[in-house]
Amino acid sequence: MTRNLDPETGFLQQLGQRVRTMRALRGMSRKVLAKVSGISERYIAQLESGKGNVSIVLLRRVSNAMGAHLEDLIPASEPAPDWQVIRDLLRKATPNQIAQAKDILAGGGASAPRQTPFAGIALIGLRGAGKSTLGKMLAKKIGWNFVELNKEIEQQNGLSVAEIIALYGQEGFRRMEQAALGQLLARRELMVLATGGGIVSEPLTFDLILSSFYTIWLKAEPEEHMARVRRQGDLRPMADDRSAMAELRNILVSREPLYARASAVVDTAGLSIDAAAARLIDAVRPVLHDEAGMFGLRSAS
């Protein structure tokens, strides 16, 4: 016979789960979070297990280290699936835009839906999914430009991703990521875009990806992701972490519901590069051969 948890214990367990999920969404190991927040790794572990009766000050340090909003860590029922997007849009809205939104929500009228120009195909997924390798092959096949969002961020800011995170933290990097995406979209050129694995952790940026691109989740088994990353010599942000595979699985589990919002999924598990590229090309045919011809795209033959 199981006992019902008292409200405080249940709250702490939900809080711990939220911290663990937010950390995984951002691809941070527990060791990295402890270092950035200045809180011991042991205490972070207690917090995530629901045994840490954390003060609001320490919780604020944890949220700041992850570049997250403090309220996103507090267990509460959210009013709508897109609440985080709506909230972030409201934070950036002008007083006039807020007044219009209030009028619409109050039933005072509705404006025409926002039309976002079609920008091409975006590839999402964990590091080691093949976004760069397969993205280049796809772009060459269909005659579009290939763009890596992280390289655009580096070029626009004159710093590597690692340097940006070290200097400005996760929040600063996500801000630059959103700005770089906005500049890419302003070009009004069709492209195959390879995104960073953690782009799904920023609601506004990911919403812009979903509304501007035909989005494809490149999926593989965790062991394949890890093997590919090791071959690339890139273990950030889990370098020297003995539990790297466990962390990677945690990241994947936390991000899967967001990756699953993609227009299509291409599972590359066990496939050669050529076979995976062929499967990716098959996945984009609905866009390239759109029956209405609304995009006027060149087809892949």
Contact between residue 135 and residue 146 where contact means Cβ atoms under 8 Å apart: yes
Residues 124 and 264 in one domain: yes
pLDDT of residue 68: 78
Residues 141 and 236 in one domain: yes
Q: Is residue 60 part of a domain?
A: yes
Q: Is residue 298 part of a domain?
A: no
Q: Is residue 16 part of a domain?
A: yes
Is 155's pLDDT higher than 90? yes
Q: What Å distances lie between residue 89 and 98, 204, 208, CA to CA?
A: 10, 7, 12
Q: Is residue 1 part of a domain?
A: no
Tell me the mean pLDDT in the region 108-125: 75
pLDDT of residue 292: 35
For 39-72, write each residue's pLDDT tens digit.
Answer: 888 888 888 888 877 777 788 888 888 887 777 7
Contact between residue 184 and residue 122 where contact means Cβ atoms under 8 Å apart: no
Residues 99 and 62 in one domain: no
Q: Is residue 34 part of a domain?
A: yes
Indicate the average pLDDT of the chain.
81
Q: Is residue 301 part of a domain?
A: no
In this prediction, residue 242 has a pLDDT band, given cuts at 50, 70 and 90, of: low
More confident residue, 109 or 189: 189
Angle at the Cα of 266 (from 292 to 84), degrees rounded to 5?
A: 80
In this prediction, residue 299 has a pLDDT band, given cuts at 50, 70 and 90, of: very low
Contact between residue 60 and residue 33 where contact means Cβ atoms under 8 Å apart: no
Residues 102 and 128 in one domain: no
CATH code, domain carrying 212: 3.40.50.300
Structural domain harbouring 249 = 120-288
Contact between residue 176 and residue 156 where contact means Cβ atoms under 8 Å apart: yes
Is 2's pLDDT higher than 70? no
pLDDT of residue 80: 62
Alpha-carbon gap, residue 5 to 265, rounded angstroms: 39
Is 115's pLDDT higher than 70? no
Tell me the mean pLDDT in the region 27-42: 88
Residues 139 and 240 in one domain: yes
More confident residue, 298 or 115: 115
Q: Is residue 138 part of a domain?
A: yes
Alpha-carbon gap, residue 184 to 191, rounded angstroms: 9
Counted residue by residue, the chain has a size of: 301
Global pTM?
0.71
Q: Is residue 162 part of a domain?
A: yes
For 125-145, write each residue's pLDDT tens digit.
Answer: 988 888 999 999 999 999 999
Number of domains in the chain: 3
Residues 43 and 156 in one domain: no
Tell me the mean pLDDT in the region 261-284: 91
